[in-house]
Amino acid sequence: MSSMATMFPPIVPFPPLNNDGRDASNGFPAEEPAHFPNAAPIWGFNMNDQLPDIRVPDFRETVTSPVCDITPDDDNDLAAWVSKFYVGGAGDLKCTTDQGATITLHSLVAGVTYGFTFLIKRIFATGTTATEIVGIV
């Protein structure tokens, strides 16, 4: 029991007050106990410091629909960058990511929706053999 008493500080009660709201021990106005608005109540763990980074996509045009047909084009970016796409006809797909990397996705299966953690800003006509591509924002 004595070891438990040394682990935790003693509980100090709020000082008694006079009728006028002043501290009875020293005559000064009573102070409220300190509150720490940024401190989390559980084990001092602050969730605000643990939030993940948030990426906001950079769309070149306002998107009116979250789904759009994609026509592969070697010279122009997509109207809205997509993070997923559906492939109706099997094949390869050559694309450029939002980070500027040009990659080719080989042997895509027909009838599958592919999702990524990056955005696709261009799908090339040259090097793309997949057909019926539908972009999902």
pLDDT of residue 23: 62
Q: Which of 89, 116, 92, 91 is nearest to 104 (CA)?
A: 92
**Band of pLDDT at residue 137, cut at 50, 70 and 90:** confident
Query: Is the distance from CB of 58 to CB of 82 less than 8 angstroms?
Result: no
pLDDT of residue 112: 92
Burial bucket for residue 79 (CB in 10 Å: 0-12, 13-18, 19+): middle
More confident residue, 34 or 96: 96
pTM of the model: 0.54
Structure tokens at 69: 């047909």
pLDDT of residue 67: 86
Mean pLDDT, residues 25-43 taken together: 55
Burial bucket for residue 12 (CB in 10 Å: 0-12, 13-18, 19+): exposed
pLDDT of residue 40: 47
